[in-house]
């Protein structure tokens, strides 16, 4: 049961006297407690946490003495404070909610238009030309390049800022010729989105687009162009194609496969002339996916690969491997080269430049000497020299040129030396001129076939000579008794000698060609 209060207790004592005054004070205090010290002014001599009902306002406010000041109960009790916070600056919580919520809890429709996309910039504006205006103050940081601008005056026009410069006033140059003839003060504005934000203030519809110029359309184009690459820049490094995976199993990123029609297949023949592609995603068997066709791409690698080496498809893995030939001014890609390494690798992945078409068997000029070289030596002497070569033992070498012999009844010879080794590896020590007492001219050709073993291999030399006193003739002769070198050819020397020092033999317009 709730406690009750008897306002007449304690009663006055008989006879009356000091005790009667004591009882009256007790009743006064009890009454103050019961009414929360209600009054229009604060109680005197308050104690901490004492309550006071302030009746100076309607409705009355219940306050508590904090020890230093009288504070509203809503700042002292959590639930009341929460209500006060919800009320905000409104007169009541209900007034606060009534701004957007109806009594039944539904949203109240907006009664004003959406905010303008432009922010008004205060200042006095003056037209100075069809594409320029001035505004008071230094506002170059506001009117910066590419930001949208809304110009208000006798007409309202839009453009974007090209530049702004501050002198006595800020002069703004816009991209169009539509500055209003008269401009209203404190009315012109700039786009809310500045050029320093994620997008610029440049009007998207002013750009060429088949999709109509909406920003969303541009974003869709970018996402589509990016494909499965990490970003658009990475995507632009290579050309791509969508192919069906027919490699009898899922592909992994970086797998190197061959192309057959619109499908990607296994291609495990070294030096194959098939077109190779690199998978850019995990693609299930018989499913379609993205493959890199050419350009800079990361591919699976096998073995050690040095930077700037030609690479080819491995015969045992879905990977590339070193083709054994360095990229250089005098070395063409070996047959079947799928590209070249842009960085060194040792297993894992290698960044390569993937050829659009694999390299076919090359035929290129490895050296040329157009200077006439002569000798009167009766033993083989150096005429034309070609150094710094790198011709693999799988290639065929052809050395051709012109020769001449001066008047005299003696023969003359031209020979070929590989890697600086004379005699044993001298090819075609052949008599190219007769011993008739006549001057002769002609051409020569040395043929050095592939040299993958030390088995005896033939070389050949073709000569054609003629002069005014004899019919034209040609002859073919063989090589010396030594085997051809199986090592990479780095030096080629054309040699010559005469039967007698009284005559001269010479060569000119010598060329070295490599095939395969």
Q: Could you tell me if 254 and 132 lie in one domain?
A: no
- For residue 388, cis peptide bond before it (omega within 30 degrees of 0): no
Roughly how many angstroms between the first and final C-alpha of the chain, as a whole number?
A: 114
Mean pLDDT of 169-176: 94
User: What is the predicted pLDDT for the residue at 284?
Assistant: 93
DSSP per residue over 176-227, as a string? SS---SSB-TTT-EEESS-TTSSS-SS-GGGS--TT-S-HHHHHHHHHHHHT
- Those residues whose C-beta lies under 8 Å from the C-beta of residue 242, and which sit 6 or more positions away, are 288, 289, 290, 291
- 254 lies in a domain? yes
88: left (phi over 0), alpha (psi -120 to 50) or beta: left
Greatest distance between any 2 Cα atoms in the chain: 179
- 235 lies in a domain? yes
Q: Could you tell me if 347 and 394 lie in one domain?
A: no
Q: How confident is the model at residue 450 (pLDDT cuts 50, 70, 90)?
A: confident
Q: Could you tell me if 345 and 372 lie in one domain?
A: no
Query: Quick check: helix, strand or coil at residue 235?
Result: helix
The boundaries of the domain holding residue 232 are: 227-354
**Token output for 176:** 């169009």
Q: Could you tell me if 298 and 179 lie in one domain?
A: no
Mean pLDDT of 339-345: 93
In contact, 238 and 218? CB cutoff 8 Å: no
User: What is the predicted pLDDT for the residue at 471?
Assistant: 46
- For residue 393, cis peptide bond before it (omega within 30 degrees of 0): no
Q: What is the pLDDT of residues 228-283, one digit of tens each?
A: 767 777 767 778 888 999 988 899 999 999 888 888 888 766 666 678 999 998 99
User: What is the predicted pLDDT for the residue at 432?
Assistant: 60
Look up the CATH number of the domain holding residue 396: 2.60.120
Question: C-alpha angle 232/236/239, rounded to 5°?
Answer: 130
Whether the per-residue pLDDT at 30 is higher than 60: the answer is yes
CA 327 vs CA 42, 340, 458, 498: distances in Å: 97, 8, 30, 40
Q: Could you tell me if 277 and 369 lie in one domain?
A: no
- 337 lies in a domain? yes
Number of domains the chain contains: 3
Query: Which of 302, 321, 354 is where one domain is finished?
Result: 354
Q: Could you tell me if 402 and 494 lie in one domain?
A: yes
Burial track 68-91 (b if 16+ CB lie within 10 A, e otherwise): eebeeebeeeeeeeeeeeebeeee
- 242 lies in a domain? yes
Query: Which of 337, 354, 371 is where one domain is finished?
Result: 354
In contact, 235 and 226? CB cutoff 8 Å: yes
- 332 lies in a domain? yes
Q: Which residues sit opposite 264 in a β-bridge?
A: 245, 259
Which pairs count as long-range contacts for 199-205, CB under 8 Å and 24+ apart, including other chains? 200/146, 200/147, 201/146, 201/147, 201/148, 201/160, 201/161, 202/146, 202/148, 202/160, 203/148, 203/158, 203/160
- Those residues whose C-beta lies under 8 Å from the C-beta of residue 505, and which sit 6 or more positions away, are 374, 375, 403, 404, 405, 406, 412, 413, 414, 433, 496, 497, 498
Q: Could you tell me if 180 and 247 lie in one domain?
A: no
- 434 lies in a domain? yes
Q: Could you tell me if 375 and 486 lie in one domain?
A: yes
Q: Tell me how far apart the alpha carbons of residues 125 and 134 are, in angstroms, rounded to a whole number.
A: 6
- 54 lies in a domain? no
**Segment among 38-47, 101-110, 158-167, 491-500 with least mean pLDDT:** 101-110
Count CB neighbours of 256 within 10 A.
Answer: 32
**Segment among 2-16, 18-32, 351-365, 447-461 with least mean pLDDT:** 2-16
Whether the per-residue pLDDT at 113 is higher than 60: the answer is no
User: What is the predicted pLDDT for the residue at 444?
Assistant: 82
Q: Could you tell me if 158 and 288 lie in one domain?
A: no
User: What is the predicted pLDDT for the residue at 344?
Assistant: 94
Q: What is the pLDDT of residues 395-431, one digit of tens each?
A: 888 888 888 888 888 888 888 888 876 644 444 444 5
Beta strands in 306-372 (DSSP E): 309-313, 320-326, 339-341, 345-346, 349-354, 363-369
Q: Could you tell me if 374 and 496 lie in one domain?
A: yes
Look up the CATH number of the domain holding residue 162: 2.40.30
Q: How confident is the model at residue 201 (pLDDT cuts 50, 70, 90)?
A: very low
Q: Could you tell me if 369 and 492 lie in one domain?
A: yes
User: What is the predicted pLDDT for the residue at 212?
Assistant: 47
Whether the per-residue pLDDT at 457 is higher than 80: the answer is no
Q: Could you tell me if 337 and 448 lie in one domain?
A: no
- The whole-model pTM stands at 0.37
User: What is the predicted pLDDT for the residue at 206?
Assistant: 47
**Token output for 95:** 């007034």
In contact, 254 and 278? CB cutoff 8 Å: yes
User: What is the predicted pLDDT for the residue at 277?
Assistant: 92
- 247 lies in a domain? yes
Q: What is the pLDDT of residues 44-54, one digit of tens each?
A: 888 888 888 88
């Amino acid at each position: 049961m709730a406690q009750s209060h008897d306002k007449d207790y304690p009663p006055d004592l008989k006879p009356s006297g000091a005790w009667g005054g004591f009882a009256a004070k007790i009743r006064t205090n009890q009454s103050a407690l019961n009414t929360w010290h209600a009054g229009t002014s604060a109680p005197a001599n308050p104690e901490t946490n004492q309550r006071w009902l302030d009746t100076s306002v309607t409705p009355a406010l219940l306050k508590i003495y904090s020890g230093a000041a009288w504070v509203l109960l809503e700042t002292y009790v959590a639930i009341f404070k929460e209500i006060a916070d919800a009320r905000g600056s409104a007169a009541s919580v209900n007034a606060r909610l009534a701004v957007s919520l109806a009594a039944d809890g539904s949203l109240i429709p907006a009664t004003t238009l959406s905010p303008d996309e432009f922010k008004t910039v205060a200042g006095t504006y003056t037209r100075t030309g069809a594409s320029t205006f001035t505004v008071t103050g230094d506002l170059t940081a506001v009117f910066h390049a590419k930001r949208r601008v809304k110009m208000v005056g006798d007409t309202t026009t839009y453009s974007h800022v090209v530049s702004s410069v501050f002198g006595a006033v800020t002069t703004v140059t816009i991209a169009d010729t539509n500055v209003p003839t008269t401009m209203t003060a404190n009315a012109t504005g700039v786009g809310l989105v500045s050029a320093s934000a994620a997008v610029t203030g440049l009007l998207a519809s002013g750009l060429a687009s088949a999709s109509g110029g909406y920003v969303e359309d541009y974003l869709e184009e970018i996402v589509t162009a990016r494909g499965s690459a990490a970003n658009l820049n990475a995507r632009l490094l290579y050309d791509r194609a969508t192919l069906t995976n027919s490699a009898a199993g899922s592909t992994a990123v970086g797998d190197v496969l061959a192309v057959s029609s619109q499908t990607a297949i296994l291609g495990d023949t070294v030096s194959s002339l098939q077109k190779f592609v690199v998978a850019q995603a995990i693609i299930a068997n018989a499913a379609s996916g993205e493959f890199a066709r050419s350009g800079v791409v990361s591919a699976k690698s096998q073995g050690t690969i040095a930077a700037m080496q030609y690479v080819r498809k491995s015969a045992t893995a879905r990977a590339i491997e070193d083709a054994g030939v360095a990229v250089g001014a005098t070395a063409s890609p070996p047959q079947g080269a799928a590209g070249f390494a842009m960085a060194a690798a040792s297993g894992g992945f290698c960044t390569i430049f993937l050829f659009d078409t694999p390299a076919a068997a090359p035929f290129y000029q490895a050296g040329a000497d157009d200077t006439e070289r002569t000798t009167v030596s009766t033993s083989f002497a150096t005429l034309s020299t070609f150094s710094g070569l790198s011709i693999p033992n799988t290639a065929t070498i052809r050395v051709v040129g012109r020769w001449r012999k001066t008047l005299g009844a003696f023969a003359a010879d031209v020979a070929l030396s590989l890697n600086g080794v004379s005699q044993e590896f001298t090819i075609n020590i052949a008599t190219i001129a007769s011993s008739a007492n006549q001057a002769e001219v002609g051409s020569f050709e040395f043929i050095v076939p592939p040299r993958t073993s030390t088995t005896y291999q033939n070389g050949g030399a073709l000569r054609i000579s003629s002069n005014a006193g004899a019919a034209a003739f040609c002859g073919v002769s063989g090589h010396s008794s030594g085997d051809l070198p199986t090592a990479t050819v780095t030096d080629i020397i054309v040699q010559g000698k005469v039967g007698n020092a009284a005559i001269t033999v010479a060569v000119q317009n010598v060329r070295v060609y490599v095939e395969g």
